[in-house]
Amino acid sequence: MKQALSFLALLLLAVGCAAPNSPAPVRAATLPLPGRDRYPVPAVDRPISLDGRLDPDEWLGLNPAAAMTLNASHDLEPARQPSQVWITRDRLWLYVAVHSQINPDQPLRKDSVWGENDGVELAFQAAGDPEAPVYILRGYPSMRFQIPSLGGAKPKEIERLSENTAIRAKLHPRGTSWTIEWKISLRALGLDPAGSRQVAFNATVCKPGSGEMVTWRPATAETWRLDGKGILELAPQPAPRRVMVPGLAPAPER
């Protein structure tokens, strides 16, 4: 018996980020903090340049007050290294920026294996429809991303979403953080850009350097399983931009 307990203890110590398919028990006594339930997504009138660098002119001034702060681990402990997320939308696309602090004494793990390497997971589901598929996107510093079928998305839906998603990542020179930008088609997420205003959502960052996963909604052991309370509130679809051609008068309003 003692040998079995010792072996189990060694296994637990060997785990870096808790793998989503092997969740730790959740303590029901601790709930997400008030104000963590909804995040307003403003509309922008021009595309965001994907280069991995978070430009304040593109990302709401990088104002901490406008950020979605991931300051709890998936097992409901305070995060030792929080992350910040900013989200906007234009007529057809959703844009997500993530700034992730890392342990400067640990090199960034760039392989694309979730739970073992630095990475970002985004999970989306049509609000109010628990039977709708959960679209899961996982991106890495290598600028590779994956869309697993864990949430019930069909192969054709995953293929469509993969073809309509782009990411860029960048490691900061001092090695204290890395950033990633996403561009995701609203239609490929099963949303009507002109009509859908709410999306169930969660964002999670795996940090093997500190041995934790930090997340927005730490209400479930598997971070992609949405509880219907973490909601993105999308601003209305912006009007089309009017392009002025030199020498031509603008078309009359009708």
User: Is 25 part of any domain?
Assistant: no
State residue 8 phi and psi, 5-degree precision: -65, -40
As to burial, measured by CB atoms within 10 angstroms (0-12 exposed, 13-18 middle, 19+ buried), residue 105 is exposed
Q: What pLDDT band is residue 23 in, cutting at 50, 70 and 90?
A: very low
First to last CA, the chain: 82
| More confidently predicted of 240 and 124 | 124
How far is residue 68's CA from residue 221's CA, in Å, rounded to a whole number?
20
Query: What is the span of the domain harbouring residue 180?
Result: 70-238
User: Is 234 part of any domain?
Assistant: yes
The radius of gyration of the chain's CA atoms, rounded to the nearest angstrom, is 20
Share of the chain above pLDDT 90, in %: 52
Q: Is the pTM of this model over 0.85?
A: no
Share of the chain above pLDDT 70, in %: 80
Domain CATH number, residue 226:
2.60.40.1190
Buried b (16+ CB within 10 A) or exposed e, 115-135: bebbbbbbbbbbbeeeebbbb
User: Is 191 part of any domain?
Assistant: yes
The pLDDT value given to residue 156: 97
Total domain count, the chain: 1
Buried b (16+ CB within 10 A) or exposed e, 59-77: bbebeeebbbbbbbbbbbe
User: Is 85 part of any domain?
Assistant: yes
User: Is 50 part of any domain?
Assistant: no
User: Is 161 part of any domain?
Assistant: yes
In the numeric block, which tokens belong to residue 191?
């949303």
User: Is 135 part of any domain?
Assistant: yes
User: Is 157 part of any domain?
Assistant: yes
User: Per-residue pLDDT tens for 53-81?
Assistant: 999 999 989 998 899 999 888 778 888 88
Which of the residue ranges 68-77, 78-87, 127-136 would you say has the lowest mean pLDDT?
68-77
As to burial, measured by CB atoms within 10 angstroms (0-12 exposed, 13-18 middle, 19+ buried), residue 200 is buried
Q: What pLDDT band is residue 10 in, cutting at 50, 70 and 90?
A: very low
Q: Are 49 and 68 in contact (CB under 8 A)?
A: no
Cα-based angle 71, 75, 77 (whole degrees, multiple of 5):
45
